[in-house]
Amino acid sequence: MQPDRERVLYEGRSARSGMWIRVTTRWCVVGEDHYPVAELTLVGSARGERDLFRARKAAGLVVVLAVLVVAAVAIRSGRTREIWTALGVTVAATAAVTALPGALGRFLRRTYQIWAIYRGAHVLLFDTADQEQYGQVARALIRARELTLG
């Protein structure tokens, strides 16, 4: 009988951290760490913490809120009596209100994580902000465990 060849089920980088992951029928390789799939127990998923201090996300939200405050002040103080000022405030406020849900969504987004127990220790196997990539890695780990454990 010929030995079973190892197949790659998923290979790529995390969309969030850039960490390399490779899932084969026998191994889960995360960066420099190698975990035999047969020794990973209680493989499960979780949502990461909200990262409230990411500067790029916070800057976008602050800009949107600042435009809304300026628009409210301009309207309240009566500075919108001139047609061009009123038109400018209206366009800026509309753009800010339209961008607000997207900015809040990016600001409050939580990451998708895959955890396992390896030799008694909890290990984070994968962490990404991309839901599609998370699903691909999770399915690859499920297939690897099914093929390994039979």
The CATH code of the domain at 8-47+112-149 is 2.30.29
Say if residues 84 and 149 touch (Cβ distance below 8 Å).
no
Structure tokens at 147: 């093929």
Structure tokens at 25: 């029928």
pLDDT by residue for the chain (150 residues), tens only, comes to 344 578 899 999 887 778 899 999 999 999 889 999 999 987 777 776 666 555 566 666 677 777 777 777 777 777 666 767 777 777 777 777 777 777 666 666 788 899 999 999 999 999 888 889 999 999 999 999 888 876
Tell which residue, 150, 54, 60, has the closest CA to residue 111. Answer: 54
Q: Domain map of the chain by residue range? A: 8-47+112-149, 55-108
Structure tokens at 111: 């990451």
Task: State if pTM tops 0.85.
Answer: no
